[in-house]
Chains A and B, each alone.
Chain A
């Protein structure tokens, strides 16, 4: 039995639905999304092509030749009734992830320190003290959205995104922090760089962090960053699974 009010089931065009459990970021909402993601994943329904868990909703992509909209709604209701949250806890995995903070790799660290009325070292201490929950992998391959950022570090996104930021960037956007797997544009603030590759095509598993995992950061220096980047390029995780 699900302890929340029933989620909304909204059409996303003719070939997907969004099962929406709420409108904000919360661990409880996320638990429900991930639980429903697991039950549908276990079912392997032939007409369901993709499941995309996000902060507050599960997006179910399906083939309308195999399932009509009303049938998908009925299927979701069926699974919700059978859902037993106790059996569907998140992974519970905890990772330790190295980050080289500041300098060329974290060009916004100084700005964030000034905003918070403190020194850059203190920002690093605060950022690496927390245990973050992985809420979502989205936007681009391996882009890892984390919750649990200390509010002293929160900073609204830039009005003008930067066109290019490197792969491995550790960033802050609004109240969230993230690991950016690929190089690309972002409006988030750069505080450091990790040698860990959340997404690698030629590695098993391709995707390292999953929604429901937890991440703790620890600070490394430039030399370690370079060494670990080499190891990561050779396929090593470089992140350490603690639990």
Chain B
């Protein structure tokens, strides 16, 4: 076993996996990582299942101390300075951290959330099939709340001696966030929808894992404000009475009493969640069929990560060209998460 001690920690840092779908009819939103692609990259490099639990780290300075044992870690997500024991390291590749090392994640300079995956996994007991923290419902493991200074995480001791990285790591192209209109786009005049799609919105500081608020022009409803609650999905763009949209996130209310003009497509939800507070965002509408093609491509890409790993050439370990020739490793030590 190994132990990690949380030192200084960004608010909004918590254990997240891919969430616990299946309970929204109980009023329990699935929670889960805000950026499932970055989670999957970190997990693949750490030798874990793409949906396995990792540490979702917020944008502020965070320090994790290895106080016992050694761990293999991989970090993916926001752009930020990374160090182990004072030595810089790159995201998207497996690194070893030993007892006495501090793992430093500096303040994010691009993006918001980083995923720290541990080779041996974080020890915990899944709640309704998932370790993801849902703060308001008080669910999650090993803590049912975001991490705070002084928390200790037990980790599996399994440690691959082979350091790997991802071939052709996915890069996100900046651009509009794509939206499928509905289910209540008819609650808005077409001029109002034009305003939504032509404006540059800013992410409000009052944004969190329940929803990201957008600051921009006031959007008015066409129909009466007496909207009877219906179901919500991740990425729903709700427009409450104050005319400022709220984009629902994984710890959202499962039903909502405000009209939703559209839903961010699955393939863009991670990219949207990585827009910093105060950051600008624009939206464009696409059809549901195209959105589904993109969702399927993303799912297939995530599945492919485990077969796109390669050994990192490390001169201190004396790799030769021969070794590198068979360095495309398939499914190394690939196991399920500890969950």
Do A and B share a complex? yes
* From B136, B256, B266, contact of A13 by CB (8 A): B266
* From A15, A52, A57, contact of B254 by CB (8 A): A52
Complex interface residues of chain B between 6 and 32 (CB less than 8 A to chain A) = 21-28
Query: Is A59 an interface residue, CB under 8 A from the partner?
Result: yes
The answer to whether B253 and A24 touch across the interface, beta carbons within 8 angstroms, is no
Complex interface residues of chain A between 39 and 85 (CB less than 8 A to chain B) = 49-59, 61, 64-65, 68-70
Given known A13-B235, A52-B254, contact A141–B292 (CB-CB < 8 A): no
Q: CB-CB < 8 A to B195: which residues of A?
A: none
Measured between C-beta atoms, what is the minimum distance from A81 to chain B in Å?
23
The answer to whether B27 and A142 touch across the interface, beta carbons within 8 angstroms, is yes
As a 0/1 sequence over residues 180 to 193 of chain A, the CB contacts with chain B under 8 angstroms (1 = contact) are 01101000000000
As a 0/1 sequence over residues 283 to 300 of chain B, the CB contacts with chain A under 8 angstroms (1 = contact) are 000001101101110010
Measured between C-beta atoms, what is the minimum distance from A177 to chain B in Å?
14
Q: CB-CB < 8 A to B235: which residues of A?
A: 13
The answer to whether A49 and B230 touch across the interface, beta carbons within 8 angstroms, is no
Query: Is A14 an interface residue, CB under 8 A from the partner?
Result: yes
Q: CB-CB < 8 A to A11: which residues of B?
A: 180, 182-183, 263, 288
Measured between C-beta atoms, what is the minimum distance from B291 to chain A in Å?
4
Give A203 to B224 CA distance when docked, in angstroms: 41
Query: Is B338 an interface residue, CB under 8 A from the partner?
Result: no
The answer to whether A140 and B288 touch across the interface, beta carbons within 8 angstroms, is no
Query: Is B229 an interface residue, CB under 8 A from the partner?
Result: yes
Q: Which of A10, A65, A138, A139 has the most CB of B within 10 A?
A: A138
- The prevalent SS among residues of B at the interface is mixed
The answer to whether A201 and B136 touch across the interface, beta carbons within 8 angstroms, is no
Query: Is A137 an interface residue, CB under 8 A from the partner?
Result: yes
Given known A141-B137, A145-B229, contact A20–B183 (CB-CB < 8 A): yes
The answer to whether A56 and B230 touch across the interface, beta carbons within 8 angstroms, is yes
The answer to whether A61 and B233 touch across the interface, beta carbons within 8 angstroms, is yes
Q: In the complex, what residue of chain B is closest to A184 when comparing beta carbons?
A: B136
Measured between C-beta atoms, what is the minimum distance from A167 to chain B in Å?
10
Query: Is A107 an interface residue, CB under 8 A from the partner?
Result: no
Q: CB-CB < 8 A to B164: which residues of A?
A: none
Q: CB-CB < 8 A to A12: which residues of B?
A: 182-183, 231, 233, 236, 260, 263
Given known A14-B265, A52-B231, contact A139–B296 (CB-CB < 8 A): no
Measured between C-beta atoms, what is the minimum distance from B204 to chain A in Å?
17
Give A235 to B147 CA distance when docked, in angstroms: 29
Complex interface residues of chain B between 116 and 171 (CB less than 8 A to chain A) = 127-128, 136-139
The answer to whether B229 and A13 touch across the interface, beta carbons within 8 angstroms, is no
The answer to whether B26 and A199 touch across the interface, beta carbons within 8 angstroms, is yes
The answer to whether A138 and B229 touch across the interface, beta carbons within 8 angstroms, is yes
As a 0/1 sequence over residues 15 to 41 of chain A, the CB contacts with chain B under 8 angstroms (1 = contact) are 110101001110000000000000000
Q: CB-CB < 8 A to B263: which residues of A?
A: 11-14, 16
The answer to whether B22 and A49 touch across the interface, beta carbons within 8 angstroms, is yes
* From A18, A24, A61, contact of B228 by CB (8 A): A24
As a 0/1 sequence over residues 120 to 149 of chain A, the CB contacts with chain B under 8 angstroms (1 = contact) are 000000000000000011111111010000
Measured between C-beta atoms, what is the minimum distance from B283 to chain A in Å?
13
Q: CB-CB < 8 A to A226: which residues of B?
A: none
Q: CB-CB < 8 A to B228: which residues of A?
A: 23-25, 55-56
Q: CB-CB < 8 A to B291: which residues of A?
A: 13-14
Q: CB-CB < 8 A to B254: which residues of A?
A: 52, 138-140
The answer to whether A52 and B292 touch across the interface, beta carbons within 8 angstroms, is no
Q: In the complex, what residue of chain B is closest to A24 when comparing beta carbons?
A: B228
Query: Is A6 an interface residue, CB under 8 A from the partner?
Result: no
Query: Is B264 an interface residue, CB under 8 A from the partner?
Result: yes
Chosen A-B contacts, 5 in total, with CB atoms closer than 8 Å, are: A15-B266, A16-B263, A49-B22, A51-B25, A138-B253
Extra contacts, 11 of them, besides A14-B265, A20-B230, A182-B138 (Cβ < 8 A), are A12-B263, A13-B263, A13-B265, A14-B294, A15-B233, A16-B233, A52-B254, A64-B295, A65-B299, A141-B137, A199-B27
Residues of B within 8 A of A (CB): 21-28, 127-128, 136-139, 180, 182-183, 228-236, 253-256, 260, 262-266, 288-289, 291-292, 294-296, 299
